[in-house]
Amino acid sequence: MATETNSFNALPREVQSLVLDFTADPSHALIDHRFRDLLYRHVYPHLVTDWKAFLASLPEPSPLAEGLVQRIRIFPLTHSSEITPSELASRSGLIAEIYAEAVRCAQERGLSSWFRVQKNAGSLETLDILPLMRQIVANEDAALVNFFKALSRAEIPQAKQLLTLAAAEDPKVDVLANKLRLHLQKDPELFRGIVRLDLSEADLNAIPSEIRYFTGLKILLLSRNNLSVLPPEIVDLPLLDLDLSYNQLSSLPQGFGRLNLLKLFLHSNLFTSFPLELCQLRSLEELYLSANRITQIPSEARKMEALTTLDVSFNELARMPFAEGNRPPRLAVLDTDGNPFKG
């Protein structure tokens, strides 16, 4: 027990406080649902990435360190509402264990400087979680408010009325965002009747998690924005057509393959590889991926049973897709123009 206490005392004070609060009372008033949810959606991915980088810097492997990575990977990045109190305590303790082990490994191998050169937010340099979380909260507040402003400009009457009502009380972004969330919680069916939503060229940098309230949405047009990530909640919508063209996407959220899409527009983004999640879209008929940086089409793409049109023109393909056969059974149109094929 003494060793555990010493290791724990090596943690930054903010992390100690957070871990103790979680362990003692996962429903602590100061650590609300939203804070916990953000912690597991944003800090955990940073933690795994930085920890793998740290392992790679070691001159010899650390079985304990590798074991900790495997343990943190078994926790799915679910919403905090789906996490039991015991799981919250376990995950919080794991953050402490990983940080303490990183300190020990670095000290033993003379790599303490590694912590000082890590620049990414949420890295193992300090695991300074609270400032990171405050910034994430601020970003999500801004995303929600900007989303509602875009909805208002798109003449969605429910959004315009709600935004006007909330802004009348206090126009500050954080207060306004919380007011909007409270209204949505009281009336979760507010946007259920919206089937088509066009927010193209809406100057959006992010789509908030509150997109989940659009439970009847079939067509979502988000072309020509500044999106680099998508919220995980988007995979639970009943979408049939999704236009994400002319953004800055390089990956898709986990579970994207659960969607029942018929048409998907991803052209003019920043994909360097064909997202494997697409191979799980068994209903998808048309896929547009032109003007990305994709270097090859995986063999798994042949499992896209409904696919009739695939546009991968102006990528960086070195080989013709499906040159050896095994192409999707219904594929009729394959556009590969503008690729640097070899041989």
pLDDT tens digits for range 203-226: 999 999 899 999 999 999 999 999
CB-based contact 24:16 (threshold 8 Å): no
List Cβ neighbours of 157 (8 Å cut-off, separation of 6 or more). none
Buried b (16+ CB within 10 A) or exposed e, 276-308: ebbbbbeebbbbbbbbbebeebeeebbebebbe
Model pLDDT, residue 173 = 86
CB count in 10 Å sphere of residue 85: 12
Question: Taking 80 as the threshold, does the pLDDT of residue 114 lie above it?
Answer: no
Nearest by Cα to 262 from 195, 222, 308, 198: 308
What CA–CA distance (Å, rounded) separates 74 from 45? Answer: 12
Residue type (1 letter), 211: I
Model pLDDT, residue 3 = 35
Output phi, psi for 339, to 5 deg.
-100, 150
Model pLDDT, residue 72 = 57
Lowest pLDDT segment from 10-19, 100-109, 138-147, 247-256: 10-19
Domain boundaries, the chain: 2-127
**Structure confidence by residue, pLDDT tens digits, 288-305:** 999 999 999 998 999 999
